[in-house]
Structure 1
Amino acid sequence: MSNMPQVGQPAPEFSIPDEHETPVSLGDFSGQWIILYFYPKDNTPGCTTEAKDFSELNQEFSALGAKIFGVSPDSSQSHCKFIAKHNLTITLLSDPEHDLAETYGIWQLKKFMGKEYMGVVRSTFLIDPDGNIAYTWTNVKVKDHAQQVLTKLQELAAIASASS
């Protein structure tokens, strides 16, 4: 059974390199909403669509005080090329040993064309400004996903500001 963090639980802390090999830690963004989305591989059709969709909506996320991080097992160099090729405006984190994917419970047995292998289950975690899991999406379908995340963030941010 996966050890995926549940809504209401503290988001597992991390510190892994971004596309410039600069360490990024969850704790650095205390007081902000975080969108932490895991994807299998740079420059594959679904992952490219997802990254471009999040980039297109990045200003709307920023306006709500949210920071977007895409995480895959690819190297920082691969991320740099991916960002340049598609003019991405989001931060990509490199998890080559899939430690973060395992911590979040989305490094799982997958099947493709009759073969079984371990890999990233496309998933997104919305982390609230207090560092808790506010919402999760697993086995994500790329189409309209970034918009669904934005809509959920708008809803939760409105509730949070109404109660403060």
Structure 2
Amino acid sequence: MLRSGDTAPLFTLPDGDMEDFDMQTVRGNRHVVLFFYPRDNAPTCTRQAEEFSDHEYEFNKLDCIVLGISPDDCMTHAEFAAEHGLSIRLLADIEAEVCSLYGVWREKEVDGVKRKGVLRSTFIIDKDGQIRHALYDVTPKGHVAEVLALVREMEPEKANANRKKHRRNA
């Protein structure tokens, strides 16, 4: 299980347009909100993805990109995004390798049957690739507002650190 302070694992996954996203490309450039969800078109997953999309502009203003990951394939992601007007990038982790790296691929019991699935989780990763917040088993209601507030808190911390550095150098 990953925790705050851990380095976020790097990965490359395709999106709904079958274009690869490489986590290494954002290191040093942008913050990342990485949310894992069980599957496209499930009511709760749909609401969560729509809410992240609705606030994408606010995340972008904070120099942060939002990425959703599920075990669904690229075509399913493309249809899901088109049907619901989603603007965030959805990544296909068909083999659940990245889900496993982030510790969200878990065994659960549904109707008496044990099977593996995604534990709805969100990771807030700073520009240096450090996990600032690891939120497991999240409840979607109010979650995006909570994540946005946590991302907003990251920028002032950096500004304060820079101010202290300049005072020491003066």
Shorter-chain-normalised TM-score: which range? over 0.9
How far apart, in 1, do the equivalents of 2:117 and 2:70 lie?
A: 10
Task: Tell me by how many angstroms 1:39 deviates.
Answer: 0.2
Q: Equivalences for 1:113-152 in 2 at 5 Å?
A: 113-152=111-150
Tell me whether 134-143 or 151-160 shows the greater mean CA deviation: 151-160
Task: Tell me by how many angstroms 1:83 deviates.
Answer: 0.5
Aligned equivalent of 1:89: 87
**Is structure 2 residue 13 aligned with structure 1 residue 22?**
no
Aligned length: 161
Q: Please state whether the residue corresponding to 1:124 is helix, strand or coil.
A: strand
How far apart, in 2, do the equivalents of 1:162 and 1:53 lie?
A: 30
How far apart, in 1, do the equivalents of 2:105 and 2:134 lie?
A: 15
Percent identity reads: 36
- Which 4+ stretches in 1 moved above 6 angstroms? none
* Counterpart residue identity of residue 11, structure 1: A
* Counterpart residue identity of residue 143, structure 1: K
Normalised by the length of structure 1, the TM-score is 0.95
5+ residue gaps, structure 1, are none
Task: Tell me by how many angstroms 1:114 deviates.
Answer: 2.3
RMSD between superposed Cα atoms in Å: 0.8
Aligned equivalent of 2:166: none
Aligned equivalent of 2:37: 39
Structure with the greater alpha carbon radius of gyration: 2
How far apart, in 1, do the equivalents of 2:72 and 2:155 lie?
A: 32
Aligned equivalent of 2:151: 153
How far apart, in 1, do the equivalents of 2:60 and 2:49 lie?
A: 16
Normalised by the length of structure 2, the TM-score is 0.92
